[in-house]
Amino acid sequence: MDRCNRCQAILEDGTLRFVARLRLCGDYGALPDPETQAGPTADVLQAALDAAANTPESQLMETVVEEFSFVVCPSCRARLRQDPAGAATVPGPRGVRQ
Ligand SMILES: [Zn+2]
């Protein structure tokens, strides 16, 4: 017997459940557009490189890529499909969005 990692519902053996995989990749948003060649200035790129050079390796590696997986029940799957980032429940600059 497993439990949904999101709502803790019991998942009896043989019942449908879903495995969610989450991959977080660091991105400074500083890559040139391959079609228009528009992109950040050399100053912006240098600042990103300087920031990386001044970050401890272990912390830098955490920003490159992290992967998580968890099991969810059908109800939580439906909620994840509607709002995968959980934006409806995350506090923003003006408090929790309704
Ligand atoms: Zn659930």
Q: How far is CA 2 from CA 25, 79, 95, in A?
A: 29, 19, 34
Q: What distance in angstroms lies between residue 5's CA and the mean position of ligand 1's atoms?
A: 7
Q: What distance in angstroms lies between residue 9's CA and the mean position of ligand 1's atoms?
A: 5
Mean of all residue pLDDT scores within the chain? 85
Q: What distance in angstroms lies between residue 4's CA and the mean position of ligand 1's atoms?
A: 5
Average pLDDT for 27-47: 76
pTM for this prediction: 0.66
Pull the structure tokens for residue 21.
Answer: 């995989």
CB-based burial label for 27 (10 Å; 0-12, 13-18, 19+):
exposed
Helix (H) or strand (E) holding 92: strand 91-92
Q: Which residue has the higher pLDDT, 86 or 90?
A: 86
Other beta carbons within 10 Å of 42: 7
Average pLDDT for 39-61: 83
pLDDT of residue 15: 95
Q: What distance in angstroms lies between residue 87's CA and the mean position of ligand 1's atoms?
A: 18
pLDDT band at 96 (very low <50, low <70, confident <90, very high): low
In the predicted model, is pLDDT for residue 98 greater than 60? no
